[in-house]
Amino acid sequence: MDPISPGTKPPLKRTSIGVWVMVLALLVLLGLAGFFAYQGLVIGDVEIPAQGYVAMAIGIALSLVIGIGLMVLVFYSSRRGYDEQPSFLGEPPDNDAPTYDPPDQPRR
């Protein structure tokens, strides 16, 4: 006899101590990042030379180019079918093999 009847949600699992330790460690890191960011904002008068602004602009531009370029490649490979399961050339397709069809595309 199944203790969970159809249509009901299963009981929630209790989270282990490891999950709480990880959450606490991430919250501590977030707090430290916030503290150092605040300290960087309230520090005294610090002059940044023109080379510093140029280097920062180049770094931001390159980061944007790399990020946008990688997203374009992901989109392109998904649309062109490069993400499909591999198959060997010259072998007939195995029609009995299970295939993964994304939910938004009809089965062939």
Closest CA to 84 of 101, 107, 108: 101
> SS3 for 90?
coil
Residue 24 vs residue 97, higher pLDDT = 24
CB contact at 8 A, 83 and 101? no
* Calpha distance 64→68 (Å, rounded): 6
pLDDT for 70-108, tens place per residue? 999 999 888 887 777 776 676 665 666 666 666 665 555
| Cβ density class 39-58: b for 16+ within 10 Å, e for less | eeeeeeeeeeeeeeeeeeee
pLDDT for 46-57, tens place per residue? 888 999 999 999
pLDDT band at 42 (very low <50, low <70, confident <90, very high): confident
